[in-house]
Amino acid sequence: MADPAVREKAKELFIANGFSMDTILNMLSGEVSRKTLYNWRNEDKWEELRKNKIIRTANLRERLENLLENAISEAETNMNPRAIFAVGKLVAALRSSVYVDFTDEKNEKAANLKKGFTKENLESLEKELNVL
| Chain CA centroid to CA 121, Å | 24
**pLDDT above 70: percentage of residues in the chain:** 82
Note the pTM of the prediction, 2 decimals.
0.51
Q: Measured between alpha carbons, how far is residue 97 from residues 92, 94, 117, 126 in Å?
A: 9, 5, 22, 18
List, for residues 74-99, the tens digit of each pLDDT value.
Answer: 888 888 888 888 888 888 877 876 54
Q: Which three-class secondary structure state does DSSP give residue 37?
A: helix
**pLDDT above 90: percentage of residues in the chain:** 32
List, for residues 40-82, the tens digit of each pLDDT value.
Answer: 999 999 999 999 988 888 888 888 888 888 888 888 888 888 8
